[in-house]
Chains A and B, each alone.
Chain A
Amino acid sequence: MSKFKKDNKKAAPGVNTSSLPDIVFMLLFFFMVATTSKESDPTVKVEQPEGVRTTDMTPYKQRSEIDFLYVGKPMNPARAQKYAEMGMEYLLFLDNVAQSNPDDLYNVTAIGRWKIDKFESKPSRMTETIEGVITCVKADQGTPSGLIFDIRKELQSIDALTIAYAVRDNGNI
């Protein structure tokens, strides 16, 4: 004789899932607050170098006072080979550039046009002049510095005089 009755006739009641939306909404809000939207998906592979004492770019992003450009090896192997034959192992990537031919996407001389286009399409509430709008260069660790200075030169020629070198912050100690 046991004290516990085994009653197999009754089916187990279904689990109440009415609080599931609450949980999911909570997760949703967490991610909405804790993350920032991606600027674009570059077609070059960028592995950033490390550094300390960096400046956080988030406030500039919120005020859209920043444009990103990427430098790295192309992800597409065929394209990588094509440009490697031309002696360009590391390529520049510009998003949303008005392109007359597909190569413009990777062309250093297209920076001026790209930057001015971006500047003109900024929201009107932005008061920053083109000199103050940051151009953030996200470059791969192996990029030759010459390419960075080519970019600088292009920016200088259109008076976009603020540049930012993106790095991965290895902890603010």
Chain B
Amino acid sequence: MARRDIPEINAGSMADIAFLLLIFFLVTTTMDRDQAYIRNIPKLIEQVEEPQDVEERNIFAIKANSQNQLMVRKDIMENPDDISDRMIEFYRENEISNDPSNNFPMYSTITMGEIDAAIDVAYDDYDATDAIPGRSDDIMDFKQGVIDEWQKKKNALILYGKNELREIHVQAHVRIEVQSGTEYYLFAKIQSEVEEAIYTLRDDAAKEIFGESYGTIKKRYDMDKKGDAKKEVKKRDKPKLDLLKILYPDRFIEVTPN
């Protein structure tokens, strides 16, 4: 049988096709990545209980008015860049030893024995509530949450490797109060400063305890979570982050302006 030469395919228009695709992708995509601060909105509850009184020392209030003027803990602040320094001071002041005379939140110390005792109490409470006829599932979830919380604390202390855990007062929080006229740039700046302060605090602790920066741990955790790694690998940095979160909790309240 006679063999015919197969003519070569003309690839001259390949470049045109590639250009077309290239231009399509140039137009429909964007280079800048979306960066944001993630915050939680409190759940809407119908019955509002009488709010607990919070001592002034436990509140780190950042206020901004409609003229975009700032006030932090009753002091007028000219430069918003100072918020993070003030916030670090708020966390650090009583960290080593409590001084009741100053206006900063107190720290409390808890030992492993005390945590174990608290876990036992929480379990007993769970069982006792479970036995009540006509109990709601919500309350069981809540009691389970209490147990989980203590368990987390226990794991954190084991990882910490010290005899006791020093915690900031449970009511200590950052309160962001803006008015409806406050411009968004200032609101975002406050969020940025608050984030910066928490980052700095956790970063210092991470370097001291684990010898690596908070950013590295967090990035690795996110990468692990995204990939198809095994479950153990995915969770390997979770206890570290939990510990840092217990040491420097990010309790932010954003007050709705009226």
Contacts and interface: CB of A to CB of B under 8 A. Distances in A.
Nearest to B29: A35
A163 interface: yes
A12 interface: no
B18 A28 contact: yes
Contacts of B233: none
Contact of A134 (B38, B183, B257): B38
Contacts, number: 175
Interface size on A, as a range, is 35 or more
Contacts of B256: 149, 152-153
Interface string A73-108: 000000000000000000000000000000000000
A165 B29 contact: no
Given A141-B184, A146-B180, A21 B14 contact: yes
A145 interface: yes
Interface string B186-199: 11110110011001
Contacts of A53: 192, 195-196, 199
B226 A59 contact: yes
A156 B254 CA distance: 13
A35 B179 contact: no
A146 B181 contact: yes
B18 A35 contact: no
Given A17-B12, A62-B226, 16 more contacts: A31-B22, A49-B185, A51-B188, A51-B189, A51-B192, A58-B34, A134-B38, A136-B36, A145-B180, A145-B186, A145-B187, A148-B184, A161-B40, A165-B36, A165-B37, A165-B187
A54 to B, nearest CB: 4
Contact of B181 (A144, A153, A167): A144
Interface string A106-145: 0000000000000000000000000000101011111111
Shortest 10 CB-CB distances between A and B: which pairs? A146-B180, A51-B192, A35-B29, A54-B35, A164-B36, A57-B34, A24-B18, A141-B185, A143-B184, A49-B185
Given A35-B25, A142-B183, A143-B183, A166 B30 contact: no
A85 B5 CA distance: 76
B182 interface: yes
Nearest to B197: A53
A157 B178 CA distance: 21
Contact of B184 (A27, A68, A139, A161): A139
A134 B21 CA distance: 32
Contact of A167 (B22, B37, B180, B196): B37
7 contacts: A31-B22, A37-B30, A49-B188, A144-B184, A145-B64, A145-B184, A167-B37
Contact of B183 (A68, A144, A168): A144
A32 B195 CA distance: 32
B26 to A, nearest CB: 6
B4 interface: no
Interface in B130-170: none
Given A18-B11, A52-B195, A145 B178 contact: yes
A138 B30 CA distance: 15
Interface in A25-74: 25, 27-28, 31-32, 34-38, 49-59, 61-62, 68, 71
Interface stretch (B41-49, B88-96, B238-246): B41-49
A24 B44 CA distance: 54
